[in-house]
Every structure is written in structure tokens, then in C-alpha cells.
Structure 1
Amino acid sequence: MIDVVLKLASPMPRAAIGHLGWLRGAVGAALAIALAAGLTGLLLRISDFAIPLPLLVAPLGASAVLVFCVPASPLAQPWPVIGGDLVSAVVGLALGHMIGVPWLAASLALCIAIALMSLLRCLHPPGGACALLYALGAAGAEQWDWAWMGAITANVAALVAVGWFYNNLTGHPWPHVPVRVPPAPVPAYTREDIEAVLAEWNEVLDVDIDDLDAFCQALLRKGRGR
């Protein structure tokens, strides 16, 4: 029974190479992290920060997985990466200083960060980690100040720059551009039908409606071809 559950829960395994092979994503993520460390180190050496800052902020690793392994995801686009990470870090620092109690500051920071990311249309899961990290840092013994925004800003800038260059270089337009499939002469469904079904399911799917529409159109063409 456990084996069946694991098989159902596990995503389809990817080949090492190919259109979206895991090797392409792994190499891109490694390049982005290396550049982020180098750029941040350069900025820190020429800046007069009073406290030592990290070269890399941990949530950047999760952002890199999204940007390079699922570059078509709405959660992995440039604005969600930039806005989600930076807005959440600002919220974390602010709440950490205002409240001063680590667990309470972290809880409220995550709550507000999710709300702001949703309202600003930049929902990005690693942003939640940024909110927690910066709230705990500001409210904890180290008392992080606003200089700590320098590290994550340089990290995010490097990640987005490498993401844009590398994804486009390897055949994955980023920001993502949905595949345009000509509609069928007699449509089997409409975009409104897709929206209605999604509303009935009452679930958030990690795929753009235009991509979902293109997939369904291509699937119908395959079926008619047989």
C-alpha cells in the first residue's frame, strides 16, 4: 500500500537531457548560485557594512529550482522571483524589529508576506522562507538591520539575470511565453469552459490558463490525427 501511495505522489521521472532534462536545470541553477555568490561578495567588499553578511541567502536555492527546473511555472517568472523574495524579506525585517519576539514575528511576517505576494501577483514559495528567515534574524540575538537587504537583493538580481540568459539560450523563453496552438475549426470547448471547471474544482493549479488551453488543443489534434 505504501509503495502505491509513493508512486502516485511522485512526479514523473525526467531524463538527464532533452527538452526539459534535469541536467539542464541543474547546471543552470549551479551557475546562478555561483554568480550570486560572486556578485554579492563583490558588493560587500566595496560597501561599508558594519556587520558581516552572508554571500548567499538560503531561500535562493529554492528559487533557483523553480527558475531552472520549471521555467514555465507562473510561480517561477521574473516578477514573482523578484517581488516575492524581496517583499517578503522586507516584511520579515520590519516585523522582526517591531515585535521583537522571534516566533510571533515569524508567524505574522509569513501571514503578511503571503497576503502581499497574492495582492501584488508575485506569489513565490521561497518568499515564505525569506519572510521567516529575516523575521527570525531581526528579532533574534543577532538583531539584523536593513543592511541585510543588500545580500538578498544582489542574490535575486544575479539569479534573474542568469535565469533570463540561460533559459532563453537553452530554448525556454523566460519570461515564459505560452505555446500558440491554432484553435480547432469547431471548438470542443472554450476558455470560459476551462475557467468554469477550475472554479468548480476550487483548486490552484501551478499552470497558466493559456498553457492549459494550448495543451488541450494539442491533445485534441493528436486524437483527431488517429
Structure 2
Amino acid sequence: MNVRCDLHLHSCLSPCGDCDMTPNNIVNMAKLCELSLIALTDHGSCGNCRATVAAGERAGVAVVPGMELTCREEAHVLCYFPDADAAEAFGQYVYARLPDFANNPAVFGAQLLLDAHDRPVGEEPRLLLTAADIGVYDVQALCASFGGVAVPAHLNKSSYSVLSALGFADPAMGFSACEITPSCREELLVREHPELRGMLFLKNSDAHDLGQIGTAEQTLPLSAPTAQALLAYLRGR
């Protein structure tokens, strides 16, 4: 079946995310946009995933728990997981490898933790924008050990992408799919980087505010609008 989806969304836990990006606001905006599947991918944390999954269940929108990981090389990689338990376990692993650098909300923005009814339950004190001590060559296998799949984010961007950091996407990294920006023409990118030939391409909004959700107009051929179906598709199964 063809599933309308947006697989790169930030909540108010990301310091660059708008404070209106709460679990219920996100899933209800996704519903208004007629999206069947979304992914929450905050910077360096899965702390709002469980709440957003629960909010999505009430709204009838499936939520894939995930993270946008900043690797040691300053490249962003989207990490998707089958359920909140796996995502939170991965989040704990990443957190232990983030620099112990305190967030300054006045400079970077607040990092708000909410429950499934959008009630505040805390604020993350450690800055989540910094690079974890995890190499890009290790991310795919690491995600797989938690039942997940890794996808390099906004691959064509001139900053915080695998291509901008390293200049090429080495097949030894193990990625079978990648994300590009909605305006990117994949045939031109493949012509410039032939190592990308045969990869699956995703186009997501990278939404940091409610108005950006669903703007990428992405439809994927999935067996069902579920995290498990998405992971199987990204693995090429």
C-alpha cells in the first residue's frame, strides 16, 4: 500500500524545535495533513518518543520512535526503531557518549520533556546538539543491535551531512537508504556520487514547527503504516 509519511520531525525536546511541537500537536497536525506514518527524530535524545507514540495511538497516526544522531564526524544520521523501549535503550547508550555540556536555553533554546498529554515532566539539562562519540561507520550496526535502521540525514546539504563531512558515502558504512531534501533531484546527486546508485531515497520535512509538517509530500510503498513495515522497507526486505 502507498503510505503518506513524514519521517523527520523534531519536538520541543530539540532546542531548535518550536515550543508548540508537543506530542499531541505533532500527531494532530499530521492527521490534518493526512499522514498515516510519522517519525519523531529529536537531536540526541528519544525522550519524547514514548509520549508521542501514545498520542499517535489516540489520534490514529502511527509514530516511529527515532533520533537524529550527530556522529563524531559532525554528520547527522536518522535512527529509527521498532518501539519506544528500543528507542529509549538506544537513547541511553547515546547519552552516555554525549559531551557533558550544559544547555543554555537563552542561547540554544529549551529542551522540554512532556508526557502523552503535553504536560511538562522535566527539562533536559545537557545540550543535545553536540556530537556523540560514535563514528558514522559504526551507526548502522549499532542501530541494528537495538532492532533499528540508520539513514544518513539530508545527504545533499552543505553542512551536517555525510557528504559534507566526508565528501562521499562509503558503501562500507552499511546504509541502504538515505534522506535528501525535498528540492533535491536524486538523479543529479547520483550522477555526482555514483556510490549512491541503488539506494532508497527519502524526502522528509525536517519539521521544527507545526507548519512544516507534511510539506515534503512523501509516499512510500509499505506493507502497512507501522514502524515494523518501515524498517523492513529500509532494510530492502
Q: TM-score of the superposition, structure 1-length normalised?
A: 0.24
Greater strand proportion: 2
Larger radius of gyration: 1
Greater helix proportion: 1
Q: TM-score of the superposition, structure 2-length normalised?
A: 0.23
